[in-house]
Amino acid sequence: MKLAILGTGMIVKEGALPALKEVPEVEVAAIFARPSSREKAEKLSVAYDIPKVYTDYEELLADPDIDFVYVGLTNSVHYDYTKKALLAGKHVIVEKPFASAAREVQELRQLALAKGLYVFEAVTLFYLPNFAAIREALPKLGRIKAVVANYSQYSSRYDKYLNGEVLPAFDPQRSGGALYDINIYNLNLIIGLFGKPESIDYTANIGFNGIDTSGMVKMQYPDFFALAIGAKDSDSPGYAVIQGEKGYIKVTDAPNTLRSFEMKLRGSGVTSHYELNKYSHRMVHEFQEFAKIFAAKDYDKVKQGLDVSVAVLETAEEARKQVGIVFPCDHT
C-alpha cells in the first residue's frame, strides 16, 4: 500500500507521519504541499525518508507508484481533493470531517462505489480495540437510557481569536468551529454505536464571526437521549458515559483516544477496567486496519464506514444550520 501524504500541518507532523513509522504495511511514497509550503514538505521528506515531494496535485495523481492519498488538509478542501483523487483512480484516506456538507459525502460515496475505490474517513476511535470492546459490551447494560460524551480542549488558537485574528480552526470560510473540529468525535462515537438519531437540537456559543467556539448537541433516540459536548474555548476532562438499566460504561478520557474505560453492572459491586489499545499513538491502529482491509479486499468494510460518515455529516450539517453557521459549500 503506497501512500501520498497531503499537507504539512499538525495532523501530518504530529499525527500521521509518526504513526506511519509503526505501520510497515504502508509505504509513504510522496508528500504534497502547496508551493508556499514546499520547504516544510522537503524537511518532512528528509525527516521521514519520503522519496518524492510534490507541489502540483495533478502531477501527483498521475504518479503510477501511488495507490492512496491521505488528505490531511484544512476541512474546507477535503471534498475537492478527495474528488480529484477518486476521479484519477486513487484510493483515499480523508481526515475528519469527511467534508463540509452531507451532499458532498453522498457524492463522494457514490463515486467511490461506482469506481470500486477504497475511501476511509480517518476517525481514529473506530479502529481502537477499546471501541470494539465497548460495542461488544453494550448488551450487558440492558436498555440504554442516557449517553453523554464530552471532548473539550482550550484551543491554542483561541487567544488569537479573542484578539480578532481568525485562524482556520475558527473560520467559517474554512469549515472550522467546535462542532466540526472537536465535537465531531463525540458524534462519531455516539452514531457509530447507536446509529443516526431521530432528531437533534444544537445549542452553541457563537463568536464574533458567526462560528461556534463551543456547543452541545442533544440527540434523541427512540428510547433514550444523548448529549455531545465539544468546546475549543474552555477545558474539561474528556469522558463519555453510557447508562443502561443494568449498568454503565464510562470512558475515562477524551473520546478521540479512548485510552481506557470502565464498566460496572448493577448489583455486581465490581468495577471492571479496560485498557486494550496496543499503541501509545492513537493513529497506528487505524492505518493498520486500512492496510488490512485493502489487502483483504474487504469492500463491505468500506461501505459500512461510508454509511457512518454520511450519517455523521447529515447530523453535523443540520446542527450547524440550526444556529446559523454558514459555510461556502452552502452557496454552491
**Which residues, in sequence order, are bridge partners of residue 271?**
264
Could you tell me the fold of the domain covering 126-284+312-331? Dihydrodipicolinate Reductase; domain 2 (3.30.360)
Spatial contact of 109 and 101, defined as CB atoms under 8 Å apart: no
What is the chain's pLDDT, residue by residue, as a tens digit (332 residues)? 999 999 999 999 999 999 999 999 999 999 999 999 999 999 999 999 999 999 999 999 999 999 999 999 999 999 999 999 999 999 999 999 999 999 999 999 999 999 999 999 999 999 999 999 999 999 999 999 999 999 999 999 999 999 999 999 999 999 999 999 999 999 999 999 999 999 999 999 999 999 999 999 999 999 999 999 999 999 999 999 999 999 999 999 999 999 999 999 999 989 999 999 999 899 999 999 999 999 999 999 999 999 999 999 999 999 999 999 999 999 87
Q: Which residues of 229-267 are buried (b: 16+ CB within 10 A; e: fewer)?
A: bbbbbeeeebbbbbbbeebbbbbbebbbbbbebebebee
Question: Which residue in the block uniquely carries the three cell numbers 473540529?
Answer: 181
Write the CA distances from 156 to 108, 134, 233, integer angstroms: 32, 31, 9
The grid cell for 57 is 496535485
Q: Where are the domains of the chain?
A: 2-122, 126-284+312-331
Residues 2-122, CATH architecture: 3-Layer(aba) Sandwich (3.40)
Contacts of 244 (CB under 8 A, 6+ apart): 138, 140, 141, 142, 143, 144, 145
